[in-house]
Chains A and B, each alone.
Chain A
Amino acid sequence: MTLPTTTIPGGAASTTSRSQRPAARGSGQQRWGTTVILILCAATVILPFYVTISMALKSGEQAVEGEAFALPSPVSMEGFTTAWALTDFPRAFTISLLITVVTVVGTIILSAMASYAISRNWERRAFRWAFYYLLGAMFLPFPVLALSQVKLTGMVELANPLGVALLHIMFQLSFSTLLFTAFLRSLPGELEESARIDGASTAGAFWRIVFPLLAPMSATVGIFAFLKSWNDFMMPSMIIADPSLQTLPVVQEMFQTQFSNNYHVAFASYLMAMAPAIIAYVISQRWVLSGLTQGAVK
């Protein structure tokens, strides 16, 4: 399947360097036409964000007019304060963050461990089967399993954020194991063996030598797990039974009727829910872009 050749260590770095080379080479003859067209397309991407920000900053009287493009005058923070209290933002944020952190950490650790066991025993049939077994979930969209999972999580007292985090990890396993295994199989085994000669156990060699080497792949796996978990609506809305334990995206849906025509409150709430992921992305965008490219090409 995904051949180890495509996942050479440092692949992320090579993608970025390759993408920048043509730009540097052709810096003398920029294509202005293309640039202008692309900037116009970028405006379509920016538009909904502009609408969100400008609506969120309006006062109640101005927002109710529903004029998306009019600039806020006066600039008002009332939308934010109302939304903060109405949706109990701190609580929803904490729950979303909790689920996301557990998912990211759990996905990286569990799939790295499983992939290590699989790749170092690849010649054994049972381990290869385990690999294909884990891969199977890639073909199972959540709607197919939803009804049974709701029933099962209810039975074992996991109809809560923890249950959602667990399911998020399980749904990320296939993709993450695929990435890690391909990477590990291209990693020379001598490295751990020399550590083992020095007296380290297999587990010790994994944690101290192999796991740090996996960092670029862990970043990719982590970014995808973060985005899937932080932005998910379907699973928390189906699994979490107690509405007061809902995540940020679900809370936006729950409060639709209460927002009604208070557009400034609604958009302030949307903005607060979207902001953490956007800020994280903009800060680490170079890193995230190469990670996303790595993952996307798999």
Chain B
Amino acid sequence: MTTSTIKTSTDATASPPQAPAEPPPRRQRTRRVERVYLWFLLPVLVLFTLAITTPALMGIFYSFTDSVGFGEFEFVGLNNYLVMFSDPAILSAYGFTIGVALSTVILVNVVALALAIGLTSRIRAKTALRTIFVLPMVVSGIIIAFVFQFIFANTVPAAAQALQVGVLEESILANPNLAWISIVLVTTWQAVPQAMLIYIAGLMTVPRDVYEASAIDGASPLKQLRSITLPLISGFILINVIIGFKDFLSTYEIIVGLTDGGPGTATRSVAMTIFSGFEDGDYAYQMANSTIFFLITLTIALIQLRITRGNARI
């Protein structure tokens, strides 16, 4: 569509033989960069450096000090890092965050793939269903977490009492051993659409004749899923798992809305411990925490980059 527009307009503007005021500036490899390009790019680079790079470097710098966020400070070398590795609050936050991220990744991908397969098969009301399934993507995480907080605290226990399901009669939000489940569920609820859209795009790349051929050979739908669909969209699965894991590691708003880290500190994520750096006066210490957290996400991102490069089609 756009391509044809380009073609016609090129013809239209190129055909009248204009007096060549200057030789057509075809790729001037050796000449100087036109100044206007610098005006286009430099302001962005400067802003980016001030807003992103500077704070990143500042964080690393302060992680080697004993700063409380203001006033004087001294260098303490690797002390913050050494303390971190034996701090139960930090270790449990990492354990909790990684556990929640892993559970969410699995649940999100199973649900998203199932929905994507359903939505790409011959069904009724396809557009309406797709519109509904994407809805969670457009609402604010903290607000929807407040809504679910009400449901988990009031509706679920009330329903459990009526149906005599003992375990659920008390709100799972108040149970230190079960509260994490609510976080996984709500995060999944909100994260499914993005993964689903990626899977739908992936399923579109699988040619329909492959299914038709295998159906003639008598393959069951389950067999088709295992030996055709999954292998053919494996690249998309990998990308979804990695992107999801990286995103879920920074989980914050949904926890604030559901449990606010409680009961006690049972559901405190890494992001929450970092943000506490201002209130608790352990600014430099949480900078060290941020740096470690950054190294973890960077590692995952580099793996992602390697895979994306390998899968040219994505």
Interface contact B204-A18, CB-CB below 8 Å: yes
- Say whether B275 contacts A202, CB under 8 Å: no
Q: Which residues of A contact B252 (CB under 8 A)?
A: 143, 233-234
The residues in A between 66 and 122 inclusive whose CB is less than 8 angstroms from any CB of B are 66-69, 110-111, 113-114, 116-118, 120-121
The answer to the question of B9 belonging to the interface, with a C-beta cut-off of 8 Å to chain A, is yes
Minimum CB distance partner of B111 in chain A: A41
How many interface residues does chain A have, given as a range? 35 or more
- Judge whether B138 and A173 touch: CB under 8 Å: no
Across the interface, do B197 and A293 meet the contact criterion of CB distance under 8 Å?
yes
- In A199-252, which residues have CB < 8 Å from any B CB? 199, 201-203, 206, 213, 216, 227, 230-234, 238, 248-249, 252
Could you say which of B1, B10, B140, B270 has the most chain A C-beta atoms within 10 Å of its C-beta?
B140
Which residues of the partner chain B approach A196 to less than 8 Å between Cβ atoms?
25
| Residue of B26, B131, B147, B189 ringed by the most chain A CB atoms within 10 A | B147
Beta-carbon contact of B9 and A191 below 8 Å: yes
Q: Are A190 and B56 within 8 A (Cβ)?
A: no
Q: Name the residue of chain A whose CB is nearest to the CB of B35.
A: A202
From 262 to 298 in chain A, residues with beta carbon under 8 angstroms from any chain B beta carbon are 263, 266-267, 270, 273-274, 277-278, 280-282, 285-286, 288-289, 292-293, 296-297
Q: Complex: how many Å from CA A8 to CA B131?
A: 25
A297 and B198 contacting across the interface, CB-CB below 8 Å: yes
- Is B41 an interface residue when CB atoms closer than 8 A count as contact? yes
Majority-rule SS of A interface residues: helix
Q: How far is the CA of A109 from the CA of B27 in the complex (A)?
A: 25
Q: Whole-angstrom distance between the alpha carbons of A213 and B108 in the complex?
A: 36
A9 and B119 contact, Cβ closer than 8 Å, known pairs A66-B154, A197-B21: no
In the complex, which of the residues A114, A141, A206, A216 contacts B250, with contact meaning CB atoms closer than 8 Å?
Answer: A141
Interface positions, chain B 23-67, Cβ under 8 Å from A, are 24-27, 29, 33-34, 36-41, 43-45, 47-48, 50-52, 54-56, 58-59, 62
**A139 engages B298 (CB within 8 Å):** yes
* A256 vs B142: C-alpha distance when bound (angstroms): 12
- Whether A121 pairs with B126 at a CB distance below 8 angstroms is no
Question: Are A285 and B204 in contact, CB atoms less than 8 angstroms apart?
Answer: no
Q: Tell which of B72-80, B173-181, B225-233, B282-290 binds the partner.
A: B282-290
Task: Establish whether residues B123 and A143, one from each chain, have CB atoms under 8 Å apart when the complex forms.
Answer: no
Report the separation of the CA atoms of residues A148 and B58 in the bound assembly, to the nearest whole angstrom.
Answer: 7
> 29 A-B Cβ contacts within 8 A?
A2-B314, A18-B204, A22-B121, A22-B208, A26-B122, A35-B123, A41-B133, A42-B133, A45-B136, A48-B147, A55-B150, A68-B154, A69-B155, A139-B294, A140-B56, A141-B271, A144-B274, A145-B59, A167-B51, A197-B24, A198-B13, A202-B34, A203-B40, A233-B252, A233-B253, A234-B253, A252-B143, A256-B146, A285-B134
